[in-house]
C-alpha cells in the first residue's frame, strides 16, 4: 500500500501541474476568443473562469465518488465532458491555421484530460480491490477481514447499507434480504448477506 500511495501522490502532483498549465493556456485562449466575438473585458475574464470552474467541480465530484468505489453520477461526467470540450474548442479556435498550430494549442487540454482519467483509473482500481478485500468474505459464514486501518469510504458504505436496510423494512417488519441490499448498492449477494449479519450483531452501529 505504501508503494501504491507513492504512485498516486506522484500522479496527483503531475495532474495538478498539468491542470495549472492547461488552466493558464485555456484562460488566455478563451479570453482572446471572447474578445474577438464582442464580449467586454469583464465577460472575457469571467467566462473562462466559469468553464474551468465546471471542470474543477465535476472533477472533484468524480474523484470523491471514486474514493467511495463509484464512478460518479451522470451529471458530473456530462459537465466534465462539456467543460473539457469547451476548453478544447476554444484552444483550437484561436490557434494558427493548420494542423501543427491546432495540435500545439490543444495539447495542454488533451494532456490534462488523459492524465486525469489515468488517475481516476488508479483510484478506482485501488478502491475496488480494497473494498473487495474488506467487505466480501470468501465464504458466507466468514467474518469481515480484520484491518487496523480500514478505508473510511468502505466503513461509511457499510453503515449506509445497514441504515438503508433498517429504513426499508418489508411490510411485515422484517429486514430486506441480503440480495436486496446488495442490488441496492450494486454489490454481490454475499456482500449483502454480510451487511445484514453484521448489522444484526451490532457491528455497524
pLDDT in tens, 104-132: 888 877 777 777 777 777 766 665 555 54
pTM, 2 dp: 0.52
- The DSSP code sequence of the chain is -HHHHHHHHHHHHHHHHHHHHHHHHHHHHHHHHHHHTT--HHHHHHHHHHHHHHHHHHHHHHHHHHHTT----HHHHHHHHHHHHHHHHHHHHTSPSSHHHHHHHHHHHHHHHHHHHHHHHHHHHHHHHHHHHHH--SSTTPPPPP-SS--HHHHHHHHHHHHHHHHT--TTSPPPPHHHHHHHTT--HHHHHHHHHHHHTTTT-
Average pLDDT over residues 160-179: 88
- Which pLDDT tens digit goes with each residue over 51-100? 888 888 887 888 777 666 666 778 988 988 888 888 888 888 888 888 88
Amino acid at each position: 500500500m505504501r508503494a501504491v500511495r507513492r504512485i498516486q501522490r506522484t500522479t496527483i502532483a503531475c495532474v495538478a501541474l498539468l491542470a495549472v498549465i492547461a488552466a493558464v493556456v485555456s484562460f488566455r485562449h478563451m479570453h482572446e476568443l471572447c474578445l474577438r466575438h464582442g464580449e467586454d473585458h469583464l465577460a472575457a475574464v469571467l467566462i473562462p473562469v466559469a468553464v474551468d470552474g465546471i471542470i474543477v467541480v465535476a472533477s472533484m465530484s468524480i474523484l470523491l465518488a471514486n474514493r467511495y468505489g463509484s464512478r460518479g453520477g451522470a451529471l458530473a461526467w456530462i459537465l466534465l465532458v462539456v467543460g473539457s470540450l469547451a476548453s478544447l474548442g476554444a484552444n483550437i479556435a484561436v490557434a494558427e491555421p493548420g494542423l501543427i498550430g491546432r495540435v500545439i494549442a490543444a495539447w495542454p487540454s488533451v494532456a490534462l484530460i488523459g492524465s486525469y482519467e489515468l488517475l481516476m483509473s488508479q483510484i478506482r482500481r485501488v478502491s475496488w480491490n480494497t473494498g473487495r478485500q474488506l467487505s466480501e468474505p470468501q465464504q458466507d459464514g466468514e467474518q469481515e477481514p480484520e484491518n487496523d486501518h480500514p478505508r473510511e469510504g468502505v466503513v461509511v458504505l457499510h453503515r449506509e447499507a445497514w441504515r438503508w436496510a433498517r429504513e426499508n423494512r418489508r411490510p411485515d417488519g422484517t429486514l430486506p434480504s441480503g440480495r436486496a441490499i446488495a442490488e441496492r448498492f450494486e454489490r454481490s449477494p454475499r456482500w449483502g448477506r454480510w451487511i445484514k449479519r453484521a448489522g444484526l450483531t451490532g457491528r455497524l452501529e
